[in-house]
Amino acid sequence: MSEIEKSIKAKIEAVGMPLKDWDIQINYGIKTGCNDAFIIDSIKRNEILDNCTTEEERQKTAEIIRPILRGRDVCRYGYEWGDLWLINTHNGIKGKLERIHIEDYPSIKQHIDNYWDKIESRTDQGDTAYNLRNCAYLDEFSKPKIIWIELSDESKFALCDDLVPLNTVFFLTGNHLNHILGLLNSKLIHWYFTTCLGTSSGVGTNRWLKYTIEQLPLVCHTDEDLSQLVAARLSDKTNVSICESKIDSLICKMYGLTQEECAYVIDNY
């Protein structure tokens, strides 16, 4: 490590607080044990809803069919939904939420029964083969969150509201999401991750794992400058490079980097 890199590293670690010490949670997305049965496209969703015999059944059924996000759908600062849905026959939360009883959803049962041989023998199941496995953080799926995938050659963090991540997607919930998102997507934190923390997949990509992400020293800041810049980046699709350049420059200043150190990071990463 060169002298300038040692200086940058020391400043990041002196100013930042490890993400694990922030008021956040990091989890991975939902596991079905049989995607063929529980993940459907819009055509199948409409078919299931049309097979409901009453308006009450249709409304109840629609409520537990949630849009789902795969790892391949995630990109930097955004995602491209693949028109896929999760049949969320969850197993409930002990003491808080009753599990889904398939008898109350005959149209969904009719669909899932087509895959009975697969779902009946799977290990990832709840109280019945129709239920998804237990998930202690089930209510976190409905919260605003930062999402990312494990394998990527660059920082690819995005903000997501009501979509349910599949198990190939990590997600973070908590406060100050715009602030954290800007830091995670910045050139400076990318430099720190790849130089000081990152683990390689062996095929030229980084592994953005939970335990390494949690170690990132992220700077806390009292003003809203970074959050506002990130909000601008999320809403303005025509000036992406300008927005990201402003974010990178601000973050370097927040960590107290010199002009030479800022240029070293921004020009090389």
d(CA 164, CA 141): 6
d(CA 78, CA 24): 20
Place of tokens 């959050």: 227
Percent of the chain residues past pLDDT 90, beyond the cut: 78
| DSSP, res 267 | H
Token duo for residue 263: 């240029």
Q: What is the pLDDT of residues 133-145, one digit of tens each?
A: 999 898 899 999 9
How many distinct structural domains can be found in the chain? 2
Same domain, 48 and 123: yes
| DSSP, res 137 | T
- pLDDT value of position 129: 96
Place of tokens 């009453």: 54
Helix (H, G, I), strand (E, B) or coil at 79: strand
Same domain, 19 and 63: no
d(CA 11, CA 28): 31
Token duo for residue 259: 């002009």
Q: Is residue 95 in some structural domain? A: yes
- pLDDT value of position 43: 98
Starting at the edge strand found earlier in the chain, the sheet holding 65-69 runs 39-41, 84-87, 65-69, 164-165
Same domain, 15 and 38: no
Q: Of 138, 155, 187, which one is at a domain's C-terminal end?
A: 138
Place of tokens 């249709």: 58
Q: Of 87, 110, 138, which one is at a domain's C-terminal end?
A: 138
Rg (C-alpha) for the chain, rounded Å, is 21
- pLDDT value of position 46: 98
Q: What is the pLDDT of residues 144-155, one digit of tens each?
A: 999 999 888 888
Residue 20 one-letter amino acid: K
Say if strands 65-69 and 164-165 run parallel, antiparallel, or are unpaired: parallel
Tell me the HSE value of 26 on the side-chain side, using a 13 A CA sphere.
19
What lies within 8 Å, CB to CB, of 193 at 6+ separation is 155, 206, 208, 212, 216
- pLDDT value of position 260: 96
Distances (CA, A) of 71 to 153, 164, 168, 179: 14, 11, 5, 23
Q: Of 113, 138, 163, which one is at a domain's C-terminal end?
A: 138
Q: Is residue 261 in some structural domain? A: yes
Q: Is residue 143 in some structural domain? A: no
Q: Is residue 161 in some structural domain? A: no
**Which residue numbers in the chain have pLDDT < 50?**
none
pTM over 0.75? The answer is: yes
Same domain, 17 and 50: no
Number of neighbouring beta carbons within 10 Å of residue 195: 13
Under 8 Å between Cβ of 89 and 102:
yes
**Segments forming the whole domain that contains residue 65:** 32-138
